[in-house]
Amino acid sequence: MDIFLSSQSSQFSGFVLSDLEDESDSPGSVSPPSSVRTSELSFEEESDGASDLSDRNPDSDIEEDNDELPDSDGEYDSQLSEIPSSQLTSTSDEDFWSEQLEDIDIPDFSEMTGPVHMLPLNAQAVDFFQLFFEERFFQHLTEQTNLYAQQTSENDQHWEEVTTAEIKAFIGINILMGVMQLSSYRLYWSSDPFLGNTGIRSVMTENRFSKLYQYIHVNNNQTAVPRDSEGFDKLHKVRPMINMVEHTFKDHYKPKQNQTVDEAMVKYKGRFSIKQYMPGKPIKRGMKVWMRSDSTSGYCHQFNVYMGKDDPNKGPKLGEKVVHFLSTNSNPTGEGSTFRREKNGNRVEIDRPPPVEGYHNYMGGVDRNNQLRAKTPVGRPAKKWWKYLFFYMINLCITNGYIVLSESVGYPPRKKRYSLLDFRIEVAKQLIGNFTKRTRKTVNKQPNKDHVSVRLNRNKRRCKWCTKQGEKKRKETVYGCINCNIHLCKESCFGQYHEEHGLPFN
């Protein structure tokens, strides 16, 4: 297997080199990196009772915003002694840089590659998604969300326990919000036909969505190891999810010969000790993630969140060691050429050694994965850093699921041009299914009688429709609908309310 760093000048700090070597011996089986021990956090503790849902529109990843509801690179350690001697040249350092080039015997790559699963031919898009985001993890999210709500807000009268079906619907809505991006999450529940989403409104109310976003949780806070203690984990809040995808990513796709190792950024502008500033990147601030992806399809086999300069597992100049190792597994005497443009504008043909040619041909695997994820992020902006990683991993599961479906033999195409966007929409709709959390007051309809605006025999109260539209000025009225038993302004509010609910009125 050939593994290409996307840039020889950058210092690779994602995986121990022995992890990469295991792939060539047993494709499809990736040993996860050694456990990460990290230093003290530098961010403030989360507030327990406040939601962190924001109104800002995400770009390539969800981005932090302050309008919320209540609610130089590190290096990894590696020893070249771990590399099997059979895979290194027997020449000394002096001979290696000699102009006397010799052929290297490189065995042909003959391992089985591609998707590994037992899904039936009529499997749905959500089945491919759940190869990576397993059913048992939906149940885990349900338990942890209810536990977190119980621990932090026992007296929250607006909270009721969530079910697994509702968690699926919640994630489905967050996927759809990435497909149809609006500047404020509230606009999805707007009555404006040009903005509101009827499908999302039919699944759950705006308030319920806000509550789920406030209490959604992955891991039990009470089991976290205190900082400054051995075993402290900065990523404790998402550790169960990281452990899950580490296994599912390697279990359902055997790696091909050419792999790319590169960095990706998860956009985040809040306070967190591992946040990086990289002015040369499209996403300048966020959490850096080292990824190993297939060089052509972009399938993510493995990723590792960069923990900063204080990472105890780092080693000197691993990036250069990996490049040196890869150059010893490429034939230096092969034929290859490319064109270079000189200062005067002329194009001249020059020789290009196989290691350089392989680098240029197979360096873009992680970039390909980034492109697949960038246009349609998952989730809404938040204050809590871990939610960005949570939705980032959901997006990886969607992307990997689409690649597995596309490369699976014998599975009939959904339509002529079935894109990742089509796959996302299907996954979201199938996660939601027939679930609905909408609860409406029982309307006491009188047989064969339209709803009529009348003066109610009671004191003034707030107009139901004006309140729903978020009117800042308090509007009270004595008029309303006796059948619906609510107060409504006599003018336009009465008609608009009944039109939305499909009720006859005069």
Contacts of 25 (CB under 8 A, 6+ apart): none
CB 374 within 8 A of CB 424: no
What is the Cα–Cα distance from 212 to 277, expressed in whole angstroms?
Answer: 31
What is the Cα–Cα distance from 293 to 441, expressed in whole angstroms?
Answer: 52
pLDDT at 339 over 70: yes
Residue written as token pair 């290297």: 104
3-state SS, one letter per residue, for 190-259: CCCCCCCCHHHHHHCCHHHHHHHHHHCCCCCHHHCCCCCCCCCCCCHHHHHHHHHHHHHHHHCEECCCEE
pLDDT at 91 over 70: no
What is the Cα–Cα distance from 129 to 431, expressed in whole angstroms?
Answer: 10
Measured between its terminal Cα atoms, the distance across the chain in Å is 75
What is the Cα–Cα distance from 20 to 18, expressed in whole angstroms?
Answer: 5
Other C-beta atoms closer than 10 Å to the C-beta of 112 total 8
Q: Helix or strand or coil: residue 395?
A: helix
What is the Cα–Cα distance from 26 to 52, expressed in whole angstroms?
Answer: 43
Q: By C-alpha distance, which of 377, 371, 381 is closest to 395? A: 377
The pLDDT assigned to 171 comes to: 97
Residue written as token pair 């205190």: 226
pLDDT at 16 over 70: no
The whole-chain average pLDDT of the chain stands at 79
CB 9 within 8 A of CB 316: no
For the chain, the domains span: 2-71+77-89+101-131+221-432, 453-500
Residue written as token pair 């697994």: 164
Q: Which of 99-103, 366-370, 499-503 has the lowest mean pLDDT?
A: 99-103
pTM exceeds 0.75: no
The two beta strands, 461-462 and 476-477, are antiparallel
Eight-state DSSP code of residue 186: G
Assign 19 a pLDDT band (cuts: 50, 70, 90): low
Residue 393, amino acid: M
The encoded tokens of residue 244 equal 């899950």
Eight-state DSSP code of residue 120: -
pLDDT tens, 413-432?
778 889 999 999 999 999 99
3-state SS, one letter per residue, for 37-80: CCCCCCCCCCCCCCCCCECCCCCCCCCCCCCECCCCCCCCCCCH
pLDDT at 245 over 80: yes
CB 23 within 8 A of CB 259: yes
What is the Cα–Cα distance from 373 to 299, expressed in whole angstroms?
Answer: 11
pLDDT tens, 487-496?
898 878 888 8
pLDDT at 443 over 60: no
Q: Which residue has the higher pLDDT, 368 or 75?
A: 368
Partners of 266 in beta bridges: 287
Residue written as token pair 């199938």: 430
What is the Cα–Cα distance from 249 to 398, expressed in whole angstroms?
Answer: 11
Q: What is the largest CA-CA distance in the chain?
A: 103
pLDDT at 63 over 70: no
Residue 153, amino acid: S
Other C-beta atoms closer than 10 Å to the C-beta of 203 total 22
Q: Which residue has the higher pLDDT, 396 or 31?
A: 396
> DSSP secondary structure string, 318-357?
HHHHHHHHHHTTS-TT---EEEEE-TTS-EEEEE--HHHH
Torsion angle (degrees, nearest 10) of CA 197, 203, 209, 211: 160
Eight-state DSSP code of residue 441: P
> DSSP secondary structure string, 92-128?
-HHHHTSS-------PPP----EE-----TT--HHHH
The pLDDT assigned to 173 comes to: 97
The two beta strands, 258-267 and 2-5, are parallel
The pLDDT assigned to 375 comes to: 85
Q: By C-alpha distance, which of 4, 30, 21 is closest to 302? A: 30
The encoded tokens of residue 17 equal 């080199």
What is the Cα–Cα distance from 301 to 255, expressed in whole angstroms?
Answer: 8
Residue written as token pair 């992680």: 366
pLDDT at 102 over 70: yes
The pLDDT assigned to 74 comes to: 39
Q: Give the CA count within 13 Å in the CB-facing half-sphere of 267.
A: 22
Q: Which residue has the higher pLDDT, 317 or 373?
A: 373
Measured CA distances, 230 to 25, 38, 240 (Å):
34, 9, 19
CB 289 within 8 A of CB 264: yes
273: alpha, beta or left? (left if phi > 0; alpha if psi -120 to 50): alpha
Residue written as token pair 């326990």: 161
pLDDT, average across residues 30-53:
45
The pLDDT assigned to 210 comes to: 94
What is the Cα–Cα distance from 394 to 137, expressed in whole angstroms?
Answer: 12
Assign 118 a pLDDT band (cuts: 50, 70, 90): very high
Q: Which residue has the higher pLDDT, 6 or 82?
A: 6
Assign 243 a pLDDT band (cuts: 50, 70, 90): very high
What is the Cα–Cα distance from 433 to 431, expressed in whole angstroms?
Answer: 6
What is the Cα–Cα distance from 166 to 203, expressed in whole angstroms?
Answer: 9
